[in-house]
Amino acid sequence: MKLILIRHGKTATDNPEKCHGSTDIDLSEEGYQQAARLANRFKDQQIDAMYASTLRRGAATAGTIAAAHNIDVVSAPELNEVDFGRIEGITFEEACGLYPDVTELWRCGSTQLCFPAGETFTDFAARVNSFLPRLQAHRDDETIMLVGHGGPYKVLVCSLLGLPMEHYWKFRFDMASVSIIDIYPTGAMLGKLSDTSHLV
């Protein structure tokens, strides 16, 4: 099975440094242009199924790509970004002043992190991993596309490659990027990570 991970395009925020996890913001004008370039990249490629985050930035990116294919976009709330709780809508620097204990764990890459009034890292990872059984309904020769967010993709990469979740912090998914994981009966192989060549 070929699993294609698409991160949504740039978002309509007044400050890209703000933490927008569960906050439901739309794509910016540039983000929609990036989604169109993603659609052009995949217009001649077979996609057997597409799953997307329920947040607008993920769903809008998915809808643009799906328009060139005769497939429905299946909503997958498991793929939604982490809920930062009270840190939603503020910058990391601002969070450091308000929640120093939390941000210190964040800075250290701890999996014991718990966002105030939001998700714990453990619950977040469990939610994302609950998506994996959906893949079992597909044949080994199918190409499946996911459209969503960087945080959940880090969880999936660790889980599929058999890496401890502590390695979560070592991966980066740029906006409007393409990553590919080939899944075999014996395991998975990361074939492409955060490719943005279609934006050039």
Looking at the annotation, which residues are catalytic?
A: 8, 81
Q: Evaluate whether residue 197 is within a structural domain.
A: no
Please tell me the distance from the alpha carbon of residue 175 to that of residue 172, in angstroms, as a whole number.
10
Q: Evaluate whether residue 200 is within a structural domain.
A: no
Give the number of domains in the chain.
Answer: 1
pLDDT digits (tens, 9 = 90+) for 86-132: 999 999 999 999 999 999 999 999 999 999 999 999 999 999 999 99
Quote the domain boundaries for residue 125.
Answer: 2-183
pLDDT digits (tens, 9 = 90+) for 149-173: 999 999 999 999 999 999 999 999 9
Outline where 99-146 has alpha helix (H). Answer: 100-107, 121-129, 132-135
Q: Evaluate whether residue 199 is within a structural domain.
A: no
As given in the structure block, the two tokens for residue 124 are: 């977040």
| Per-residue pLDDT at 35 exceeds 90 | yes
Q: Evaluate whether residue 54 is within a structural domain.
A: yes
Q: Evaluate whether residue 196 is within a structural domain.
A: no
Outline where the chain has alpha helix (H). Answer: 29-42, 56-66, 92-98, 100-107, 121-129, 132-135, 150-161
Query: What pairs with residue 143 in β-bridges?
Result: 2
> Which residues line the annotated binding site for substrate?
57
Q: Evaluate whether residue 48 is within a structural domain.
A: yes
> Which residues line the annotated binding site?
57
Q: Which helix (H) or strand (E) holds 26?
A: none
Q: Evaluate whether residue 194 is within a structural domain.
A: no
Which CATH number covers residue 124?
A: 3.40.50.1240
User: Residue 198 has what DSSP assignment?
Assistant: G
Q: Evaluate whether residue 198 is within a structural domain.
A: no
What's the predicted TM-score (pTM) here? 0.95
